[in-house]
Structure formats: structure tokens, C-alpha cells
Structure 1
Amino acid sequence: MVRILLKGNVKAHITDWFKSFQSLKNIGQTDGVSKKLTSPNSTEILLPRLQHKNSQSQKIEGIIPRHSPIITYSQPQYQPKPTVNAYLPDITRSIKNLENGLLDVFNNNRQWANAVRLQDAKFFETLAKGQEPKLFWIGCSDSRVPAEIITKLGFGEIFVHRNIANQFKEDDTNCLSELEFAVYNLKVEHIIVCGHTKCGGIQNAYNDLALRENLKIWLSDIRKIKDSYPELFPDQFTESKMSKSEIDFIHKKLVSVNVINQVNKISENIIVKEAWKDEKRRLAVHGWIFNMENGHLEDLYVTRNK
């Protein structure tokens, strides 16, 4: 606010200015002002309440801006940016059918790719340069146990092979070629065999009547466990008398034995044995279980190395 002082009114203007100054000086002593200051630990700051009803406050209205009586300063809540490593699918969507058929798959892909590019414009450029995973994962094909998600590992961090009931067979050229590539080309340091609870392959392995020919052959090694652990294969009558917790315990034990058998077979394979001849080579074979009830990975402590 600028005032032009003219002859004859200098005294009046000085008087008005002085009154305005006095009104500012008295702030904190008037009825409409809070004198209370916040404690050092409080996040609230109380500012003066200016009264706009009298002539004095009218004169200073253009000098001091109006404020809300209380302004609360608080730390902004941390909102983590979604990362590709921590990407989680829409669980609600994942448990229902695709409403628009395969078109939904393409739409989901485009949405994901666009979101990734917004987060990191060079992500796909980097992705195309190659992979250097340190883990080779042999897991079950069950759609509920995707390795990258349950381990929260990102692109290029885990090399994956999956089949029904996480089997390793000497005559399976698919798995053997992946093992060879992982050990000699990628130079992985860890081979992980991971089974899981509620595994349909394990549950049906000893029910020949429910299996077609190829599955019956594929799961034959699991049925051989019965020779060493007959208690893990109760007949229908015995099972009908068991509680749910007892059935779950037997199932988990069978899952564990199956994982241990695969760890032993991989450790005896020539591909791994040749790698262990190199004294500088770091390579270990582990046996884990994914617990479907709580989402936790459990180590069976059967690690094999050179």
C-alpha cells in the first residue's frame, strides 16, 4: 500500500500509520488472539486470529494476510513407488475368468509395459542386453507359485524351470539342457528345488485311477517313495479316519521327501559334478518348500555343495 503525502495532510497520515503500528504491536494481547505456543514435540502451530470488525483491523488488513486459526504441519506419508521387482498382479482379477478372452491378456500386457516405461524409460533397452541370474529355480508348474513373485526377484535375476511336482529326471532333455545352460553358460551359484504344499501332483501321484498315461509315468518316482515311507501313503479307509491336520502333515512330509530326492539326483548329475571340479566355482544345490498357508519359503536344510 502506497500513500502520497501532500502538504497539509502529513500529520494525519503519520497519525494513521502510528495507529496501525500500535495495532500490530498489540497483537497477542487482544481477546481474539491465542497466546499459546506449541510444545517442542507438537506438530501444531497456532497463528494469531485477526479481528476484522473494528477500524484498526480494517487498516491492517492489507498488510497481514488472513490465515486459518490453526495450521498443522505433518510429515507427508511415504508412498513407495511401484518397482518392477515388487510387481504384484491384481489378486482379485487373477482368481476369476478372463471376461474378454485372450484380448484381456494383450490389454494387461500393454498396461504393464506402459507402466514400466513411465517408471523407467530405458528399462526394456537394458533388459534386451542380456541376463546374469545367480539362481536356477526348479519348481512346480502350479499357477499359484510363480517363482519371480514369491521370491520378489526381478527380470534377469532368476532362471526358471517348472514342471509338475518339480521333478528332475535323467531322461528329461528339457530340464537337462536348462541345467547345463544355467551351470556352464550363466554360471549360476545356486540351484534351488522348490516344492509346495497343496501340490496336486503329489496328492494324485499314488492314485493311478485318476491319472492318464503320461502323468502316471511322470509321477512314477513319487510313488517309489512308498517303499521307504509307507506311512505317507495311507489307504482310503485310514485317511478317512484322519483329521485335516494329520492329512496336511503327511502331505507336507511327502512334499519334503520329494524335494530332497530331487536335490540328491541333481547333486549326482555329471553336469554338476563337473562344475564342482573347479575349485574356484561357487555352486550349491538347495531344497525348499513354499508354504501355501502363509506364503513363506521354508528351507529344508539339505544343501549340497562340493
Structure 2
Amino acid sequence: MSLYEKVFENNREWVASQLAQDPTYFSQMALGQEPEFLYIGCSDSRVQPENFMGVSPGEVFVYRNVANLIPNNDISSISVTQYAVEYLHVKHIIVCGHYGCGGVRAALDNKDLGKLNIWLRNIDDVYRLHRDELNALPDENARFRRLVELNVQEQCLNIMKFSFVQHARAKGEYPRIHGWVYDIATGTVKDLEIDMSKFTDELKVYQLK
């Protein structure tokens, strides 16, 4: 049996297992979702947020792409974020990078990767913004790890720039924006503890309606 065929066998076994524990599991799940978290992460197959966050289905709304980017011209990531904020009313938006990220590594290596260059230029811009700090680090691995962290920080700021996020936060304390880095080698999550308030003066603040 191929791995592809095995997936369907695994699915049947999983359904039977869930129903044995709770006969209403799927019927209840079908009623809707009320996630508390919007998780924006990398598409890397080794990074599975539901596992390392210890959350159940319905508790986290997940969006993933190469190097966990939220460019201001990417309609997909903007639509996901707006839906999560305005319709799901998530309390926390988490941008989670990971050490050893292939997308960040590709941008750091400055190789010509064809059309992928268009996407990776967003990380090039992060390096440009923080060039002095990164170039002052002692070795390439230190720069690599720090660029992963700084990329998360800049994506958090990109989220804060969205007018619908600003409007939601003006009405209360949510959504809160967090920057994390997952360490594949240890399975641990690092909260970068980004103080979003200190960047307020650098962001365009929209006139609230």
C-alpha cells in the first residue's frame, strides 16, 4: 500500500476513533467555528501548530505560506486576516516563524530563484531595514536566526498597519498581536515579546470612523 492510499485508511480509522469517544463530534464541529487564535505560519511540513500549541480543532484559524509573510499587496493573507478579525473576532493573531526556515535562508543566500524572487524580496526588505544589526552579528548562523526573528517582527507590524485591525483594537483590547519562533530542533516556542505600542509612531494610523 502506498503512502497515498494509506492516508485514506488512516482517515477511516481516525473517524471511527473520534466517534467512539464522542458520537456527536462531527455533527457539533459542523455547526461552526469560534477560534480564539489566528495563526499565521510557514508552510514547512515540519511545523504543525495544532500539535505544539496543544489546541483542538475549532480553536485556531490557520494560514500558512512560504516564510510566514504578510505583504501589503497580497490579497490572500489580507483576506484571511480581515475575515479572522471582522467575522471570527479572534482575540490573538500569532505570526510564527521557525529557525531553519528555507524561505529566509534562500533570501539570505541571495540566489536567483526565478519567480520565487518576487516573494522573497519581502525578506530582502527586512534585511535592508535591519542591515546594521544583522551585519554586526558574529557569524552567518547568528544572522540567519536573527533574520527569522526580525522577519516575524516586521510581519506583525504589517498586520498592525491594516485599517481593520486598527479599528478593531480601537473598540477594545483585541486582537492582540504576537510574534513567535518555533525551534524545530527542540520543539519549543519562543515568544519574541514584541511591544507593538513602541512602533505606533512609525505606523500609518487611519482616521477612525
TM-score by length of 1: 0.60
Q: Take 2:112 and 2:132, find their aligned partners in 1: how far apart are those partners?
A: 20
Instruction: After TM superposition, give the deviation of residue 121 of structure 1 in Å.
Output: 1.3
Q: Which residue does 2:151 correspond to in 1?
A: 258
- Other structure's SS at 1:219 match: helix
Q: Which residue does 2:70 correspond to in 1?
A: 168
Q: Which residue does 2:161 correspond to in 1?
A: 268
Matches within 5 A, 1:53-68: none
Structure (1/2) with the larger helix percentage: 2
Instruction: After TM superposition, give the deviation of residue 145 of structure 1 in Å.
Output: 0.5
Q: Which residue does 1:37 correspond to in 2?
A: none
Instruction: After TM superposition, give the deviation of residue 271 of structure 1 in Å.
Output: 1.6
Describe the superposition over 1:76-99 as per-residue Cα deviations: whole angstroms up to 9, x where unpaired: xxxxxxxxxxxxxxxxxxxxxxx5
Instruction: After TM superposition, give the deviation of residue 281 of structure 1 in Å.
Output: 4.8
Q: Take 2:157 and 2:94, find their aligned partners in 1: how far apart are those partners?
A: 12
Q: Take 1:289 and 1:113, find their aligned partners in 2: how far apart are those partners?
A: 32
CA contact (8 A) 1:206 1:233 kept: no
Unmatched runs of 5 consecutive residues or more in structure 2: 201-209
Tell me, yes or no, if structure 1 residue 298 matches structure 2 residue 178: no
Tell me, yes or no, if structure 1 residue 139 matches structure 2 residue 41: yes
In structure 2, give the amino acid aligned to 1:295: G
Describe the superposition over 1:237-279 as per-residue Cα deviations: whole angstroms up to 9, x where unpaired: xxxxx8xxx443222111001000011111111120111221x
Tell me, yes or no, if structure 1 residue 123 matches structure 2 residue 30: no
Larger relative CO (CA 8 A, sep 6+): 1 or 2? 2
Q: Which residue does 2:82 correspond to in 1?
A: 180
In structure 1, give the amino acid aligned to 2:164: I
In structure 1, give the amino acid aligned to 2:124: R
Q: How many percent of aligned residue pairs carry the same amino acid? A: 36
Instruction: After TM superposition, give the deviation of residue 207 of structure 1 in Å.
Output: 3.4
Q: Take 1:248 and 1:113, find their aligned partners in 2: how far apart are those partners?
A: 44
CA contact (8 A) 1:189 1:284 kept: yes
In structure 2, give the amino acid aligned to 1:203: R
Q: Which residue does 1:202 correspond to in 2?
A: 104
In structure 2, give the amino acid aligned to 1:191: I
Instruction: After TM superposition, give the deviation of residue 171 of structure 1 in Å.
Output: 1.2
- Other structure's SS at 1:301 match: coil
- Of structures 1 and 2, the larger Rg is shown by 1
In structure 1, give the amino acid aligned to 2:121: S
Unmatched runs of 5 consecutive residues or more in structure 1: 1-98, 235-241
In structure 2, give the amino acid aligned to 1:151: M
Q: Take 1:205 and 1:232, find their aligned partners in 2: how far apart are those partners?
A: 14
Describe the superposition over 1:149-179 as per-residue Cα deviations: whole angstroms up to 9, x where unpaired: 1111111000011000000011111111111
Q: Take 2:127 and 2:3, find their aligned partners in 1: how far apart are those partners?
A: 43
Q: Take 2:127 and 2:64, find their aligned partners in 1: how far apart are those partners?
A: 24
Q: Take 2:154 and 2:127, find their aligned partners in 1: how far apart are those partners?
A: 13
Instruction: After TM superposition, give the deviation of residue 230 of structure 1 in Å.
Output: 5.2
CA contact (8 A) 2:70 2:155 kept: yes
- Other structure's SS at 2:111 match: helix
Q: Take 1:283 and 1:303, find their aligned partners in 2: how far apart are those partners?
A: 14
In structure 2, give the amino acid aligned to 1:219: L
Aligned length: 196
Q: Take 2:109 and 2:173, find their aligned partners in 1: how far apart are those partners?
A: 42
- Other structure's SS at 1:194 match: strand
Instruction: After TM superposition, give the deviation of residue 303 of structure 1 in Å.
Output: 4.3
Q: Which residue does 1:16 correspond to in 2?
A: none
Cα RMSD (Å): 2.0
Instruction: After TM superposition, give the deviation of residue 212 of structure 1 in Å.
Output: 2.4
In structure 2, give the amino acid aligned to 1:229: R
From 221, 228, 235, the counterpart of 2:122? 221
CA contact (8 A) 1:208 1:216 kept: no
Q: Take 1:112 and 1:231, find their aligned partners in 2: how far apart are those partners?
A: 48
